[in-house]
Structure 1
Amino acid sequence: MANRRASITLYSRPACVHSHRVRLVMEEKGVANYDIVELREGEESEDLLDLNPYNTVPTLVERELVVYDPRIIIEYVDERYPHPPLMPVDPVLRAQYRLAIYRMESDLYPLFDDLESTPAVAKKARARMTELLTTLAADFAPKKWIGEEFSLLDCTLAPILWRLEHYQVKLGERHGERLEKYAARLFARDAFKRSLSAIEAEMRPSLATH
């Protein structure tokens, strides 16, 4: 992905679930000409601080534009590269998709910080994630994707599902089977495989081969 003439630069962390989602959307949209500046956990970047007052990743830079909220980034990329579209045209459906994405970001994504915490905190986070994903899976079958077409919703959920085995999050047999079938379709996508950092690929090496 590195290219000296790249017009887009993405600041990313290799194990960050938000960064993974943005990389996945970039790959799904076929953005071929961009650089990734990969920052290790805890590593600071003066360049990033100059660009983003919050000094957070992911941060996307395209010429004079700097975007540093992951949800804004993925919607910008979807609109900047319109094919294939990853959001519905209908405004009501778009609002519903945005609400669903917001709930995943608010309820599921923060749990990954807790999963990296003390054993007691991690145990509580695993239980909460199992509860939330079980509720989601209850309405999943027989859908191929979350909505009618592959979308930013699927791109938001995919990095979560990829990490479940690594963090020892397990669902009950019936609901787990539903999510596993859906996850297998996600993980088989070429764009998903290309989106993985080296650290993320090591989480499930048997599925990460290109």
Structure 2
Amino acid sequence: MLLYEHPLSSYAQKVKIALREKGVPFTPELPESFGTGRTDGPFAAANPRMEVPVVIDGEVTIFESTVILEYIEERWPEPPLLPREPAARAFARLTEEVCDTQYEAVNWGFGEVLWFRRATGALADHLRAQAAAQTRILQAWLSDRLGAADWFGGDRFGWADAAVAPMINRSVHYGLGPAEGSTLARWHARVRERPPVAATFAEFDAAAARMAASADLYTTGGRRREYRDHRLEWMVKSGGIEVVLAGLRAGNIRFPWPGAP
């Protein structure tokens, strides 16, 4: 199995955690054309959106992280990540949905300031404050869903845990992690000790350490950051519309397929 991925992608991390939990071997590959907007080559052929992750399993090619998770769960049902009960399955999927949309957008927006220096001065301070405030709201929501259980799936690690783990871990990396001693902080301490999660987080850490050296590629136009729908919404509603306009003028941002490349 080939997995097109980027170690910093929360969506790719979720898939890698699931594959490793199930003991499925795979070969990770960072596409050479990732972030360029190029429409040629094997990566674009596998996913016209030119987004990671993408799974190529023999003759089967799948993109979109949730669809990939569903494929993995059905292709390798043991150990199961989704619970059996319909209500519990819906609970897991809803948790993933909020993480993939609202939470990912907040983390991404904070990274635009921290790693890619899209804003400076008062605007940067404002966007960081917005991200911090919204992170606290999302973490409170997740804490309520976790309750007193060890895992979001109850007594065993599952689908929702795989989806939440990259989000909370990135917040911790940004200094926006859950309060020390809180139920969510204790959950994060547990989840990062699981070998599949630990391996995935180690890859994230290694890639994050290289971000300072590669960030200029995304501001000079060598690479272009993709403003997906929830990311664009976050930047606009949080007061960063000038960041978007500046990116358009500089030609160092892009929008998803089938829009302008």
* 1:195 to 1:141, Cα distance in 2 relative to 1, 3 A: same
| Aligned: 1:125 with 2:131 | yes
Q: Secondary structure at the match of 2:146?
A: coil
* 1:177 to 1:96, Cα distance in 2 relative to 1, 3 A: closer
Give the length in aligned residue pairs: 194
Q: Secondary structure at the match of 1:164?
A: helix
Look up the match of 1:208: none
Find the partner of 2:169 among 152, 157, 162: 162
Look up the match of 2:249: none
Q: Secondary structure at the match of 1:145?
A: coil
Give the letter aligned to residue 146 of structure 1: F
Q: Is the 8 A contact 1:78 1:85 kept in 2?
A: yes
Q: Is the 8 A contact 1:158 1:183 kept in 2?
A: yes
More moved, 58-67 vs 103-112: 103-112
TM-score (norm 1): 0.83
| Aligned: 1:24 with 2:17 | yes
Distance 2:146 2:86 in 1: 23
Give the letter aligned to residue 178 of structure 1: T
Distance 1:89 1:141 in 2: 20
| Aligned: 1:179 with 2:172 | no
Distance 1:164 1:70 in 2: 20
Look up the match of 1:36: 28
Distance 1:65 1:30 in 2: 19
Distance 2:172 2:86 in 1: 36
Look up the match of 1:15: 8
Distance 1:68 1:100 in 2: 20
| Aligned: 1:87 with 2:82 | yes
Look up the match of 1:207: none
Listed one character per residue, the Cα deviations across residues 141-191 of structure 1 (whole Å, up to 9, x for unaligned) are: 421101223111000011112112221214445xx6211111111000011
Q: What is the RMSD of the two structures over their aligned residues, measured on CA atoms?
A: 2.2
Select the structure of larger CA radius of gyration: 2
Q: Any gaps of 5 or more consecutive residues in structure 1?
A: 1-7, 205-210
Distance 2:87 2:204 in 1: 38
Distance 1:139 1:194 in 2: 26
Distance 2:31 2:46 in 1: 15
- Deviation for aligned residue 1:195: 2.2
* 1:180 to 1:102, Cα distance in 2 relative to 1, 3 A: same
| Aligned: 1:60 with 2:55 | yes
Q: What percent identity do the matched residue pairs reach?
A: 25
Distance 1:197 1:48 in 2: 25
Q: Is the 8 A contact 1:12 1:39 kept in 2?
A: yes
* 1:168 to 1:10, Cα distance in 2 relative to 1, 3 A: same
Distance 1:189 1:109 in 2: 22
More moved, 56-65 vs 162-171: 162-171
Q: Is the 8 A contact 1:20 1:195 kept in 2?
A: yes
Q: Is the 8 A contact 1:12 1:36 kept in 2?
A: yes
